[in-house]
Every structure is written in C-alpha cells, then in structure tokens.
C-alpha cells in the first residue's frame, strides 16, 4: 500500500519542472527541501544551494528526507563531455549512495527518452532499455548511464522509479518552448523535412502531476522506467508552428531536407566543439541529434505509464497551447 511522502528533496528546483514539483508538494502539505545552484525562491521550502556533485552539500540536503526527486542535470546539445559526465553520472552516483546512507526509502529519477533513441523512428513503443553506447550526444549518453545507476540501486528498502518526460513544453519552459519562440522570431527555426513526423510531447502541468504520482506509486511499482507523454501524437511541424504562434512569433518558413539537416548538424557540431560561436541562446543552431529529433517519428505507448502511476494528463495539447498563448500575451 502506498502513502504520500513526508519530506521530499527536489534537486534542480530552479527549473520549470523542479519548481513546479516542489510547489505542488508544498501545496499538498509535504515538507520540501530543494537543492540547486540558483535560488529556487519557493516559500515554505528549505533551500540548499550547491551542486549534486558536492558530498557535503548533498548530505546536508538529505537531512530528514524520506523521498528524493532527482531532476538536476546538465542539459544542453553541446559542450565538453566531461561536464555532462560529472553531473549526470557522478552526481547521480553520489546522490544515490548518500540517499541510501541517509535512510531515504523512495527515489524518483527523472531521465529522458533520448537515453534509448538511436536516430530512427519510435512508433508506439514503451520504454526501451537505456543504451549509453548508442544514444546520441553527450547529454543522452550520460543520462542513459545515470539512469542505469539509478535502476541498479533499486531494492525493497530503497525503491527507485524512473520517469522519462518527453519533449516537455509550456509556460516558463526555456529548454524547448522559449527556444522555438525566440528562434522563430529571428527566422532561425527550421522545419526539417516535411514536418509530418508524428511526435509525442508533454505539457508542463501534466509533467508535474506525473512526478507527484510517481512519489506515491514508487511504493507499489519500482525498478523500471516509464516514458511520460500527453499521449496525443501530432505532426512535429504543427507543434513547432503552434508554439511559435503561442509566443507571438511568426510561424517558421525555413525548410531544410532531412538528409541535408543531418549532415549539416554533424558539421556544425564539430565546428561548435572546436570554436563555440555566438548564438542567441548559447546553443549551436543545429546538431545531428536535433535534426533526427525534428525529422523522425517518436511516439509512445502510454498504457503501462498510466497503469503504474494511476495518472492521466489533465491538460490537452490544445488547451495547453491556449494557456501558453495567454502566458506570453500577459
């Protein structure tokens, strides 16, 4: 029988998902500690500033905690591999070991579907095994390795459940939503190929709900990974154009053939690694991974996810687009 957590450590709580999860837990009456580099500014939470790679900081953050929600990660499409390894693998290892030593009983690890994506279409699959060898790019490879560490730590007295939110978007999201809006405004957001590839996404409020559901479900189901989406596959071009409009930007008109985009992405990656150039958001304009993500289908069977979490999305894509437009119009 499951019960709600009493005191939760949320790592990475300065991001839109982490702050949303921490705020929702506080609203439900749980004790919350946050651990992140930047201020989370959440009334009612105990805030610990620092990195998941620092043992003393992590030990301090785990005081009195029975449940961990681990979101902190280095998230980027470029950068030195050792930086991703340090946070996404070694930081996760340190947190897992310290959490067990501190008597934590529940650990919800936030991963990514990219850990099992090798560049081809995903059509109606469940959560396939994380594969650090074939995953694309430093982020995906290190997140795959971190996920495997988390699942290997699963035990009856230390229950681990992994969630892989897929292409989260919505008000305040800087990783996908605001990049599409900003790049569309400057004419740098391409539609790769036909734009017809079907893609699952996840509205941010639904992501928060799913993580909270996981903190309860981990008592009943643990030791597995679940992809989390809205369960409403849409053509990728439609989603990009919708987010651009929601942010008040013109719809993208630039089209690039998929094959050319992949080749160009590979070349740009190599140049960017050698000599980082200036971009409006500090990221290369295109990588091979991004070209693959924007030109291949990736949607998932959600039956296992909804069964385990006892959860269904409450905000549809259409409603989410309306709420996102209201946010950016205000």
State the catalytic residues: 139
In the prediction, which pLDDT does 1 show? 44
C-beta separation of 164 from 111 below 8 A: yes
C-beta separation of 297 from 199 below 8 A: yes
* Distance of alpha carbon 311 from alpha carbon 129, whole angstroms: 23
In the prediction, which pLDDT does 125 show? 83
In the prediction, which pLDDT does 195 show? 85
Domain locations in the chain? Answer: 7-166+201-229+299-314
* Distance of alpha carbon 131 from alpha carbon 282, whole angstroms: 28
Per-residue pLDDT of the chain (330 residues; tens, 9 = 90+): 457 789 999 999 988 999 999 999 999 999 999 999 888 778 899 999 999 999 999 999 999 999 999 999 988 766 777 898 999 999 999 999 999 999 999 999 999 998 987 667 777 888 899 889 988 788 889 999 999 999 999 999 999 999 999 999 999 998 889 988 998 998 888 888 888 889 999 999 999 999 999 999 999 999 999 999 999 999 999 999 999 999 999 998 888 777 776 776 666 667 666 665 555 556 676 666 677 777 778 889 999 999 999 999 999 999 999 999 999 997
* Distance of alpha carbon 201 from alpha carbon 316, whole angstroms: 11
Task: List 8's β-bridge partners, or say none.
Answer: 32, 67
Give SS3 for 113.
helix
Q: What is the model's pTM? A: 0.91
C-beta separation of 43 from 25 below 8 A: no
* Distance of alpha carbon 149 from alpha carbon 93, whole angstroms: 7
Cα distance from N-terminal residue to C-terminal residue, the chain: 44
Task: List 321's β-bridge partners, or say none.
Answer: none
Superfamily covering domain 7-166+201-229+299-314: NAD(P)-binding Rossmann-like Domain (3.40.50.720)
Report how many helices (DSSP H) and strands (DSSP E) the chain contains, helices first.
12, 15
């Amino acid at each position: 029988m499951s019960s709600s957590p009493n005191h939760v450590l949320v790592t990475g709580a300065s991001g839109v998902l982490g702050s949303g999860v921490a705020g929702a837990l506080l609203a439900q009456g749980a004790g919350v500690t946050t651990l992140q580099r930047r201020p989370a500014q959440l009334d009612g939470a105990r805030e610990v500033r620092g990195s998941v790679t620092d043992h003393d900081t992590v030990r301090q953050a785990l005081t009195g905690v029975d449940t961990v929600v681990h979101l902190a990660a280095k998230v980027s499409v470029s950068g030195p591999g050792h930086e991703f390894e340090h946070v996404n693998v070694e930081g996760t290892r340190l947190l897992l070991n310290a959490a067990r030593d501190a008597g934590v009983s529940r650990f919800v690890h936030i991963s990514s579907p990219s850990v099992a994506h090798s560049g081809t279409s995903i059509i109606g699959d469940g959560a396939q095994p994380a594969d650090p060898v074939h995953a694309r790019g430093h982020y995906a490879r290190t997140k795959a390795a971190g996920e495997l560490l988390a699942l290997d730590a699963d035990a009856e007295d230390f229950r681990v459940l992994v969630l892989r939110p897929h292409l989260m978007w919505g008000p305040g999201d800087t990783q996908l939503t605001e990049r599409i809006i900003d790049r569309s405004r400057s004419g740098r957001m391409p539609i790769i190929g036909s734009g017809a590839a079907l893609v699952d996404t996840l509205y941010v409020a639904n992501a928060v709900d799913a993580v909270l559901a996981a903190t309860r479900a981990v008592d009943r189901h643990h030791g597995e990974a679940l992809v989390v989406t809205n369960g409403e596959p849409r053509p990728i071009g439609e989603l990009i154009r919708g987010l651009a409009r929601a942010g008040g930007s013109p719809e993208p008109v630039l089209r690039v053939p998929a094959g050319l985009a992949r080749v160009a992405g590979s070349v740009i990656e190599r140049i960017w690694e050698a000599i980082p150039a200036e971009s409006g958001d500090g990221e290369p304009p295109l990588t091979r991974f991004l070209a693959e993500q924007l030109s291949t289908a990736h949607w998932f069977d959600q039956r296992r996810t909804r069964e385990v979490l006892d959860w269904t999305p409450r905000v549809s894509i259409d409603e989410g687009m309306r709420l996102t437009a209201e946010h950016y119009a205000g």
